Chains A and B, each alone.
Chain A
């Protein structure tokens, strides 16, 4: 008797939806043992990790706030990843987008025009696109690998933001601390539910994911991106320009990362500070793949990832779990989620050696 692994001819739809739950279940079981061994109340820990953030309107609104940038960036990155364009510098493009839109907000500080926010969004998107165009240019013109350029430019972007908030964009009344003035109302996103921080940008995040889904499913360029990713030879034969795809992948993902940065500074932050993002640009890479590079899947994986962060904080507050443990737990959750994909694409069969000859 032996185990035989073979690919499924068709991806199992049922398993596609079932495996994430299986993965969470396995994580819960492993976590239960882990927490118990470490002397923490396992029931409370699991409860506060996965359940309690979902039980109140406020908890759900925070989930939206945390998931929104991950979803916006994730759907953008997924476009590039599908076509093998490896933009891992969304973190930097987000930062430049935040700088561009923040500069607009500060330039029109005190202005009450309704046009301030749209202008900020445009500036943010353009900023992100402009920054992503550096790897795109170097890749298409000189063949310089975009993994290196986009990653290195992330550090440069953070330092550039630092230069600005320690210098020209510093709040004149802020005791020389590194932060800009607080934006005025016209430069701030409205809140959807009073008393929460759920800003209108979170709604846009969902709309953007749907829009990208439409773009990828129903348009020529979406078709080209998919072909280039799945069958490069066929794409060459069909005469699709590889360079166009590279530019497209980087500009869209950079622009969306810039928009995510805009929403962060115009939403929950409300000013420019030395560090805009706690690693959203990198986390969104995980989100993109967990969502299987599908915009609607990314919405779900974005929420799950956001929950794992918020749940981690919750478990620290409520159960006293050290952050190190929540990090290990989060890692385990991701491992199980990624591994469970296996069941979707392959089947494991128990084969009796005797019958094998017969079949």
Chain B
């Protein structure tokens, strides 16, 4: 085993040297900029998930200027291609690499084992290593705020929820939304339609139309395109923006939007590397740290809803409000989280069941 390891190191070492040799210009000087790599699962022009991370990269460029040199690779398939791209970045002198999709977890871990000196940051996963940090955002905190607003704005008491895939993050979001909405309006129903895609504007829009036809007057989405919100605008109902402010697409319909803001984290981690203070960690940041933000309320949000929403936001930031505080009943009506208790982060991160009031 030991022999194997050293040998592997040797071969990779040669591969890396060969890679370095082929590159023009010296890189050994201390004043050389830190190379930061970003691996994206989608195109930067998706106006959704990848677009959000790209804004984070731009923030890094803006902040550090000549001190960094950033590289990104788009549309990287989760699988063998990801591992090659990550390794390519590592062996071409990148000191910090962000891999921004869950499916990049195992490839990141594998490459990190071979490049001990390179720092890796993997989004939304759960495996860490001495040189692999994990980061994720508490999107469900934003969903709580949306839920409260929906409870106030909805007249029909039916919410349509366009969902991508039943991973814990999406399930958690649906539940957080529903729980908050029920606090305002106990009889609210959340109808979920699964698109089985993160990104298919046409189908997302069709899902929204179908749900509106079935009585929903609030459209919530956990898919990447503005199509569901656009549909809400066209049909005269309301909805929430996803990942970025989508007011341009739905000036009347957007009640608020959950913003993924990676820039603060990316800037900080680059700073950490520059200062030699980078350490691996597993963080899950939300409203408090500014990784999740809310866009300004739309005109259709009544005063009372604004107050409630603000209270939830401030409460979450202060630690007095927990989006998953008991009593919580599951779909069968059984109390799963008792009054006075709330769910732990670990329980949330593998959530695969729905609360009462969700029709999924």
A and B touching (Cβ–Cβ under 8 A): yes
Partner of B8, one of A194, A278, A323: A194
User: Do A316 and B71 touch (CB < 8 A)?
Assistant: yes
Partner of A271, one of B43, B72, B106: B106
7 A-B contact pairs sorted by A residue (CB < 8 Å): A57-B14, A162-B165, A177-B167, A177-B168, A273-B103, A277-B79, A317-B71
Of A109-117, A262-270, A329-337, the stretch lying at the interface with chain B is A262-270
Size of the B side of the interface (Cβ < 8 Å), in residues, is 48
User: Do B106 and A182 touch (CB < 8 A)?
Assistant: yes
A194 contacts across to B, CB distance below 8 A: 4, 7-8, 11
Cβ-closest 9 pairs across A and B: A195-B11, A58-B15, A278-B77, A268-B80, A56-B18, A323-B74, A175-B350, A195-B8, A176-B352
| Nearest Cβ on chain B to A334's Cβ, whole angstroms | 18
| With A162-B196, A196-B11: A310-B84 Cβ-Cβ less than 8 Å | yes
Size of the A side of the interface (Cβ < 8 Å), in residues, is 47
Q: B321 contacts the other chain (Cβ, under 8 Å)? A: no
User: Do A62 and B75 touch (CB < 8 A)?
Assistant: no
User: Do A176 and B196 touch (CB < 8 A)?
Assistant: no
Q: B273 contacts the other chain (Cβ, under 8 Å)? A: no
A313 contacts across to B, CB distance below 8 A: 73, 76, 81, 84-85, 88
Q: A320 contacts the other chain (Cβ, under 8 Å)? A: yes
B167 contacts across to A, CB distance below 8 A: 176-178
Which residues 151-206 of A have a CB within 8 angstroms of B?
159, 162, 166, 175-179, 182, 193-197
| With A175-B350, A178-B165: A264-B92 Cβ-Cβ less than 8 Å | no
A196 contacts across to B, CB distance below 8 A: 11, 15
Q: Nearest B residue to A182 by beta-carbon distance?
A: B106
A274 to B85, alpha carbons, bound, how many Å?
19
User: Do A273 and B79 touch (CB < 8 A)?
Assistant: yes
A187 to B85, alpha carbons, bound, how many Å?
25
Interface membership of chain B positions 47-75, coded 1 if the CB is closer than 8 angstroms to chain A and 0 otherwise: 00000000000000000000000011111
| With A159-B196, A195-B12, A314-B88: A44-B24 Cβ-Cβ less than 8 Å | yes
| Nearest Cβ on chain B to A212's Cβ, whole angstroms | 24
User: Do A195 and B74 touch (CB < 8 A)?
Assistant: no
Q: Nearest B residue to A48 by beta-carbon distance?
A: B22
Having A271-B106, A273-B78, A323-B74, one finds 10 other A-B pairs with CB under 8 Å, namely: A44-B24, A162-B196, A175-B168, A182-B106, A195-B12, A196-B11, A276-B79, A278-B81, A323-B73, A323-B75
A44 contacts across to B, CB distance below 8 A: 24
Q: Nearest B residue to A319 by beta-carbon distance?
A: B71
Q: Nearest B residue to A323 by beta-carbon distance?
A: B74
A176 contacts across to B, CB distance below 8 A: 167-168, 350-352
A182 to B109, alpha carbons, bound, how many Å?
13
Q: Nearest A residue to B352 by beta-carbon distance?
A: A176
Interface membership of chain A positions 206-243, coded 1 if the CB is closer than 8 angstroms to chain B and 0 otherwise: 00000000000000000000000000000000000000
User: Do B78 and A275 touch (CB < 8 A)?
Assistant: yes
Q: Nearest B residue to A61 by beta-carbon distance?
A: B15
User: Which of B's residues lie within 8 Å of A, judged by CB?
Assistant: 4, 7-12, 14-15, 18-19, 22-24, 37, 43-44, 71-81, 83-85, 88-89, 91-92, 102-103, 106, 126, 165-168, 196, 349-352
A159 to B197, alpha carbons, bound, how many Å?
10
User: Which of A's residues lie within 8 Å of B, judged by CB?
Assistant: 44, 52, 55-59, 62, 65-66, 159, 162, 166, 175-179, 182, 193-197, 264, 267-271, 273-278, 309-310, 313-314, 316-318, 320, 322-324
Q: Nearest B residue to A193 by beta-carbon distance?
A: B11
| Nearest Cβ on chain B to A281's Cβ, whole angstroms | 13
B75 contacts across to A, CB distance below 8 A: 323
A52 contacts across to B, CB distance below 8 A: 19, 22
A273 to B79, alpha carbons, bound, how many Å?
8
Which of B22, B44, B89, B350 has the most chain A CB within a 10 Å cutoff?
Answer: B22
Q: Nearest A residue to B85 by beta-carbon distance?
A: A313
| Nearest Cβ on chain A to B6's Cβ, whole angstroms | 10
User: Do B80 and A65 touch (CB < 8 A)?
Assistant: yes
Partner of B18, one of A58, A175, A309: A58
Q: Nearest A residue to B84 by beta-carbon distance?
A: A62
Partner of A55, one of B22, B73, B78: B22
| Nearest Cβ on chain B to A165's Cβ, whole angstroms | 10
| Nearest Cβ on chain A to B76's Cβ, whole angstroms | 8
A268 contacts across to B, CB distance below 8 A: 79-80, 83
| Nearest Cβ on chain B to A314's Cβ, whole angstroms | 7
User: Do B89 and A175 touch (CB < 8 A)?
Assistant: no
A7 to B357, alpha carbons, bound, how many Å?
72
| With A268-B83, A270-B106, A273-B103: A316-B24 Cβ-Cβ less than 8 Å | no
User: Do B351 and A269 touch (CB < 8 A)?
Assistant: no
User: Do B83 and A320 touch (CB < 8 A)?
Assistant: no
| Nearest Cβ on chain B to A359's Cβ, whole angstroms | 54
User: Do A323 and B71 touch (CB < 8 A)?
Assistant: no
B103 contacts across to A, CB distance below 8 A: 179, 273-274
B85 contacts across to A, CB distance below 8 A: 313, 317
A268 to B85, alpha carbons, bound, how many Å?
13
User: Do A278 and B92 touch (CB < 8 A)?
Assistant: no
| Nearest Cβ on chain A to B68's Cβ, whole angstroms | 13
B166 contacts across to A, CB distance below 8 A: 166
A310 contacts across to B, CB distance below 8 A: 84
A267 contacts across to B, CB distance below 8 A: 80
| Nearest Cβ on chain A to B34's Cβ, whole angstroms | 16
Q: Nearest B residue to A276 by beta-carbon distance?
A: B79
